[in-house]
Amino acid sequence: MEIERRYELLINGKECKVESSWLGESLMYVLRERLGLWGTKNACEQGECGSCSVLIDGMLACSCLELAATAVGVDITTVEGLGAPDNMTDIQQSFIDEGAVQCGFCTPGLVVAVHDLLLSNPAPSGQEIKEALAGNLCRCTGYGRIEAAVVKVVQQRHE
């Protein structure tokens, strides 16, 4: 339904024009299909898997549950805003080093969630890691290598 509405979203520090969008579109859909920010993934589109995780004004959120049209005026960070292949964060690098990536569909959401976790809790215990990331499903890894990746980042940051 192409209702003529235009709005701007502030994503990764840039104003992005959203055009010819049906007003019911989720933030996840707009990020992906309208703005080409495909790093935000779409595994369930009902708030259960965390693969669409983004930061909204610094708060971890499932972008599939947010209406894009109501996200005007807030600060949105997607995985693309954290690091790029030639300029990765320590979290992204650690995911690679520790074998935390298989199919990788859960990975961008987890990278965002770990980023958020370590901002609020720079030295999480094993249980705190598990609890904080329990909203991000991964079907491939059984989480062992992901936990190892987080532990390694924490160690490195405290060295």
Partner 1 sequence: MSKWFSKGTNNVMPNANESISGIATSLQRPDAAEKVCGTFEYSSDLVANNMLWGGTLRSPHPSARIVEINVENARGIQGVATALTANDLPGKPNYGLLMSDQPVLADEFVRFEGEPVALVAAADPEICRRALAAIEISYELLEPLTDPERAEDSPAVFPGGNVIRRVPIERGDPEASGDVVVEGVYEVGMQDQAFLGPESGVAVPNEDGSIDLYVATQGLHQDHAQLAPCLGLPGEKVRIHLAGVGGAFGGREDFSVHAHACFLALNTRRPVKMSYLRDESFRGHLHRHPARMWYRHHARKSGKLVKVEARILLDGGAYASSSSAVAGNAARFACGPYRVPNVSVEAICVRTNNHPCGAMRGFGAVQACYGHESQMDKLAKKLGMDPLEIRFINALQTGDRLPTGQKVHVPAPVRECLEAAAAVPLPGESSDNVDGYGLPGGAGRTADRSRIRRGVGFAVGYKNLAYSEGYDDNARVRCCLKDGKLTITSAAAEIGQGFVTVARQIAHEVLGVEDIALHPANTSDIGSAGSSAASRQTYMSGKAIELACRQIAQRVCEACGENWKVNAKQLSLANGRVRSEDGRFDVKLAEACGDPIETEVFHSHRQTFGMDKATGQGDTDASWIFGAQRAVVDVDLDLGLIRVVQITTGQDVGRAINPLSVIGQIEGGISQGLGLAVMEEVLSQDGVVQNGSFTDYLVPTFADMPPVEVTLIEKPEDGAPFGAKGVGETPSLSSTPAIAAAIRAATGLELPRVPIRPEQIALA
Copy the structure tokens of residue 149.
């990746």
Cβ proximity to partner 1: between 67 and 84 the closer is 84
- Binding site partner of 125, from partner 1, ligand FES, none, Cβ cut-off 5-8 A by kind: partner 1
- Binding site partner of 144, from ligand FES, partner 1, none, Cβ cut-off 5-8 A by kind: partner 1
CA–CA separation, 133 vs 121, rounded Å?
13
CA–CA separation, 55 vs 108, rounded Å?
12
Question: Which residues inside 61-100 make contact with partner 1, applying CB under 8 A?
Answer: 78-80, 83-85, 88, 92-93, 95-99
Residues in contact with ligand FES by the rule CB under 6 A: 28, 42-45, 47-52, 62, 64, 101-106, 138-141
Q: Which residues contact 104 (CB under 8 A, 6 or more apart)?
A: none
Q: Which residues contact 97 (CB under 8 A, 6 or more apart)?
A: 149, 152
- Give the dihedral of Cα atoms 10, 12, 18, 23; nearest 10 deg: -70
- Binding site partner of 52, from ligand FES, partner 1, none, Cβ cut-off 5-8 A by kind: ligand FES
Smallest gap from Cβ 128 to partner 1, in A, equals 9
Find out whether 107 and 149 touch, Cβ atoms under 8 Å. no
Beta bridge partners of 9: 16
Question: Which residues inside 9-28 make contact with partner 1, applying CB under 8 A?
Answer: 22, 24-25
* Residue 133 binds to partner 1 (criterion: CB under 8 A): yes
Cα angle 17, 20, 24 (rounded to 5 degrees) comes to 100
Binding site for partner 1 (CB under 8 A): 1-2, 22, 24-25, 29, 32-33, 36-46, 48-49, 51, 78-80, 83-85, 88, 92-93, 95-99, 101-108, 111, 125, 127, 129-131, 133-152
